[in-house]
């Protein structure tokens, strides 16, 4: 069973899929779960996390690789 954060993160990703895949294919996206915002994008998890933390300190994020092969999701 998937957690609520993973489900919510994937829903937000799907809403933004076309834009993200057009501009950031292969990158890592950080999604701020509460607001539904794209909080950070980076070439790796650390970069996406640092950008997300600057915009949304203290919030929870769902991380996903942009593209058809999502790679494992991460929650922080």
Tell me the average confidence (pLDDT) per consecutive run of 10 residues in the chain, 76 residues long: 86 96 96 96 96 96 88 56
Q: Cα–Cα distance between 30 and 52 in angstroms, integer?
A: 6
Q: Cα–Cα distance between 42 and 64 in angstroms, integer?
A: 11
Tally of structural domains, the chain = 1
**Domain around 64:** 4-75
Q: Which residues contact residue 45 at a Cβ distance below 8 angstroms, ignoring those fewer than 6 apart?
A: 28, 63, 74
Q: Cα–Cα distance between 58 and 76 in angstroms, integer?
A: 10
pLDDT at 74: 56
pLDDT at 69: 76
pLDDT at 73: 55
């Amino acid at each position: 069973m998937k957690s609520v954060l993973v489900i919510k993160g994937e829903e937000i990703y799907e809403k933004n899929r076309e834009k993200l895949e057009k501009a950031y294919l292969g990158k890592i996206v950080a999604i701020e779960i509460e607001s539904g915002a794209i909080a950070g994008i980076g070439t790796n998890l650390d970069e996406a996390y640092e950008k997300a933390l600057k915009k949304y300190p203290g919030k929870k994020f769902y991380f996903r690789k942009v593209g058809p092969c999502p790679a494992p999701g991460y929650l922080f």
